[in-house]
Amino acid sequence: MTRTPTLILASTSPRRREILAALGLDFTVVPVDVDESPQDGETPGDMALRLAVAKAAAADAHDNNIVLGADTIVAIDGRALGKPVDKADCLAMLERLSGRGHKVLTGVALHGAQGSQTALSETDVYFREISRDEALAYWQSGEPCDKAGAYAVQGLGGVFVERIEGSYSGVVGLPVFETATLLANAGLGVLSRQ
């Protein structure tokens, strides 16, 4: 009898944990540390996939384990926006996003004994105009400090979002459709486990 694979989440993101838990999956969290620096000539989508694969590979996939890695990139004008390094950086990012559309790309990778598979979620997010006072108040809330693109769509940052075209869960950090598809391909179907 074949043992059901153990799912490992190679991330300490509370949002990714919440999404997986909401899908009714049992999993173990394994923190990983990978260099998230962009590579020369790399597109934001390629970067999201590369980092998702690196995170999945950094966790131990021995025995029958399947490791899930993910990375989210916020990009505008083809350029990735990382996490703000300080208040000035945060305010500059929010000013750049204000009144415009941008892309949120989340790469998902599964790594196990039978190899790796990946998927990329790409969502268009449109912000309303953000005043300087609003951007400053948002910085002072503490929420944007560790968020790519300096905002969290599921938190206070959601007040800036006029509309989304694509995957809301992908913007949060783990696209449900793509993740569930990869898991089903690896023998961990979400609904088939009920």
pLDDT single digits (tens) 42-88: 999 999 999 999 999 998 666 678 999 999 999 999 999 999 999 99
Please identify which residue in the block is written with the tokens 């944990």: 17
Give the pTM.
0.92
pLDDT mean across residues, the chain: 92
Whether 189 maps to a domain, the answer reads yes
Q: Which two tokens stand for residue 142?
A: 């503490």
Whether 35 maps to a domain, the answer reads yes
Q: Which two tokens stand for residue 62?
A: 């021995």
For residue 57, give the CATH number of its domain.
Answer: 3.90.950.10
For the question of residue 40 being annotated catalytic, the response is: no
| pLDDT value of residue 194 | 45
Whether 147 maps to a domain, the answer reads yes
| pLDDT value of residue 183 | 92
SS3 call for 177: helix
Per cent of the chain over pLDDT 90 is 81
**Which residue among the candidates 26, 63, 71, 133 is catalytic per the annotation?**
71
| pLDDT value of residue 72 | 96
